[in-house]
Structure 1
């Protein structure tokens, strides 16, 4: 299967904010590209026992990550539940055995749109909010850098997962 690479190319020059936005969107698009053209069953295919890691699990996990950092932390939406865990456990998102592309991507895309709105509305990257789990304040700059890192790491996993499903490799 040929995968269409329609990811936005990050600029080589620009403001700090433009660069962070562009690289975050590039990595978001990379995860979506790794899932292109696969059935629900293929997206749920796990890497190797005992790991339950799957492409669909990564999409679900990144929905939780976007939701936590942008809506709960920077947006200060108190009491916002996790999408897939009543216990507030990030790991539960990886358990995608009964999930579908439609369900996972709808949640992830909605969280990405919330994140983009919150970032656009922030006056500066220096906006700070408290991350209770660490007991520390973090800036929007940190959150955006953290998500670039999180996506880049998980996109590496997605490379291996995709290759295991149908042999597609690259980018």
Structure 2
């Protein structure tokens, strides 16, 4: 079991009623844990496995992407600070976007630790950046947006990528689940 990167994940119960920010924080943590649950029990080789020959998408690549989502939206957009991104190898797509290079040699263990760190950093700034959910924040992608929109967008990112993770995990070892 020494080659397993993500050990047993216990998904937290979600808050489904009460103050809006408590519900959102709870759902963020639930989605973070659900993603890790899809990676649970896999080796580095499995986390780097492609499900579709024509796609470079892997669970490890999603983990790299989601640490970027956490830092970009919570630190850069909401807290207006400069995040300390791990120096993963990237490339520029044909459309001019920067994306993570799947050939990055960073170990899966290091990517996992970085992802956990990014999530903890987001939790630490959450209360401060959500004091006024109606506050407008500059956003080059969407224009000025409310804090509420940014929080909803982070959940949207997780929801989209959890669907990818479902398919990737099933292709790796047949494991299925919600």
TM-score class, shorter: 0.7 to 0.9
* C-alpha separation in 1, matches of 2:103 and 2:152: 27
Partner of 1:130: 138
Q: CA deviation at 1:168?
A: 0.8
* C-alpha separation in 2, matches of 1:82 and 1:127: 29
Q: What TM-score results when the alignment is normalised by the length of structure 1? A: 0.86
Q: How does 1:88-127 map to 2 (within 5 A)?
A: 89-92=97-100, 95=102, 98-122=105-129, 123-127=131-135
RMSD of the TM alignment (CA)?
A: 2.4
Q: What TM-score results when the alignment is normalised by the length of structure 2? A: 0.83
| Higher RCO (C-alpha under 8 Å, 6+ residues apart) | 1
Partner of 1:39: 43
* C-alpha separation in 2, matches of 1:100 and 1:120: 32
Corresponding position: 1:147 with 2:151: no
* C-alpha separation in 2, matches of 1:119 and 1:109: 15
* C-alpha separation in 2, matches of 1:55 and 1:148: 18
Structure 2 unpaired stretches of 5+: 1-6
* C-alpha separation in 1, matches of 2:91 and 2:162: 26
The structure whose residues are more often helix, as a share, is 1
Where does structure 1 differ by over 6 angstroms across 4 or more consecutive aligned residues?
Answer: none
Corresponding position: 1:16 with 2:23: no
- Report the secondary structure of 1:91's partner residue: strand
Structure 1 unpaired stretches of 5+: none
Q: CA deviation at 1:142?
A: 1.1
